[in-house]
């Protein structure tokens, strides 16, 4: 992992972008298929609002997922996410491309993944985040494990942690103080 010996708060303060896996992070990991073969996913509205609030606070979001799905494009468009890597069988290659394309250092990116395929990126990013039911090998390399489950507020929890550490949470909350 990059930045050994750096405190959690300092890691969070350096984040300029958060990148999410989809299945098992933004969803609970269930895959639904209709009789016609159409794939369906359930996303949490509070997770989505957290991502929007974080973007309004100046931290962009991205997606790196091993699967390819139209519903992911629809959700990303709905949330204003422009950095999308689908069908990324080597997620580290996608991560490195994102670093180059956005001129960011690994320390500037938080990555939220839930399974062993995410390990290379979790080890490379500045802030590694996972969910409570991730395998022990994943939990062992992460800086933060959410209390909320995947697809049930975990992404929102990570977004709020970033805003709180960066001092932007109060300003976002104040938008609803009318």
pLDDT for residue 37: 87
CA distance 71 to 42: 10
> Which has the closest alpha carbon to 109: 2, 15, 12, 4?
15
| Inside any domain, residue 126 | yes
| Residues in a beta bridge with 84 | 63
pTM of the predicted structure, to 2 decimals: 0.94
Q: Is residue 95 part of a domain?
A: yes
Residue tagged 């992070």 (tokens) = 25
- pLDDT at residue 47, as a whole number: 98
Please report where in the chains the tokens 């960066």 appear, as a residue: 166
pLDDT at 44: 96
- Alpha carbon 58 to its chain centroid, in Å, reads 15
pLDDT at 28: 96
Number of structural domains in the chain: 1
Q: Are the C-beta atoms of 7 and 163 separated by less than 8 Å?
A: no
Nearest to 24 by CA among 136, 147, 155: 155
Domain, as residue range, for 15: 8-174
DSSP 8-state assignment for residue 2: -
Q: Which residue has the tokens 């939220």?
A: 112
Is 36 strand, coil or helix?
coil
CATH code, domain with 163: 3.40.50.1000
Parts of the chain with a pLDDT under 50: 1
Domain for residue 2, yes or no? no
């Amino acid at each position: 992992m990059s930045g050994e010996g750096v405190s959690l708060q300092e890691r969070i303060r350096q984040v300029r972008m958060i990148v999410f896996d989809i299945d098992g992070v933004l969803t609970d990991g269930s895959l639904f298929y209709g009789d016609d073969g159409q794939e369906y996913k359930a996303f949490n509205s509070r997770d989505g609002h957290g991502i929007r609030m974080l973007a309004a606070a100046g931290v962009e979001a991205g997606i790196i997922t091993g699967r390819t799905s139209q519903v992911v494009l629809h959700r990303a468009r709905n949330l204003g996410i422009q950095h999308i890597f689908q069908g990324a069988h080597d997620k580290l290659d996608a991560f490195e491309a994102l670093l180059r394309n956005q001129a960011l250092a690994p320390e500037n990116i938080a990555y939220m993944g839930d399974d062993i395929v995410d390990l290379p990126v979790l080890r490379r990013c500045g802030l590694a985040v996972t969910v409570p039911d991730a395998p022990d090998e994943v939990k062992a390399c992460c800086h933060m494990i959410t209390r909320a489950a995947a697809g049930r507020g975990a992404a929102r929890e990570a977004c709020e942690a970033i805003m709180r550490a960066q001092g932007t949470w109060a300003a976002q909350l104040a938008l609803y103080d009318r």
